Homo-oligomer: A and B are copies of this chain.
Amino acid sequence: MSASPTYDSAQLAACATAIADAAREFAALGWTPATSSNFSMRLDDAHVAITVSGRDKGRLGADDIMVVDMQDRPVGTDLRPSAETALHTQIYRRFPDTRAVLHTHSRTQSVASRLFGKEGRVRLQGWELQKAISGHTSHESTLDIPVFPNTQHMPELTARIDAWLDTGRPLHAYLIDGHGLYAWGRSMDEARRHLEALEFLLGCELDLRRLSS
Contacts and interface: CB of A to CB of B under 8 A. Distances in A.
A206 to B, nearest CB: 6
A115 B204 contact: no
A7 interface: no
A128 interface: yes
Interface size class on chain A is 35 or more
A152 B139 contact: yes
Contacts of A140: 152
Interface in A100-127: 105, 107, 110-111, 114-115, 126-127
Contacts of A105: 128-129
Contacts of A211: 111, 115, 206, 209-210, 213
A102 to B, nearest CB: 13
Interface in A119-153: 126-129, 132, 137-140, 150, 152
Interface in A168-213: 176-180, 193-194, 196-197, 199-200, 203-204, 206-213
A89 B213 CA distance: 39
Contact of A180 (B36, B128, B179): B128
A194 B197 CA distance: 25
A213 B129 CA distance: 28
Chain A binding surface SS class: helix
A200 B33 contact: yes
B128 A207 contact: no
Given A132-B34, A210-B210, A107 B139 contact: no
Nearest to A137: B152
B115 A35 contact: no
13 contacts: A33-B196, A33-B199, A34-B196, A35-B132, A107-B200, A110-B127, A110-B129, A110-B200, A111-B207, A126-B150, A128-B178, A209-B211, A213-B213
Interface of A: 30, 33-36, 105, 107, 110-111, 114-115, 126-129, 132, 137-140, 150, 152, 176-180, 193-194, 196-197, 199-200, 203-204, 206-213
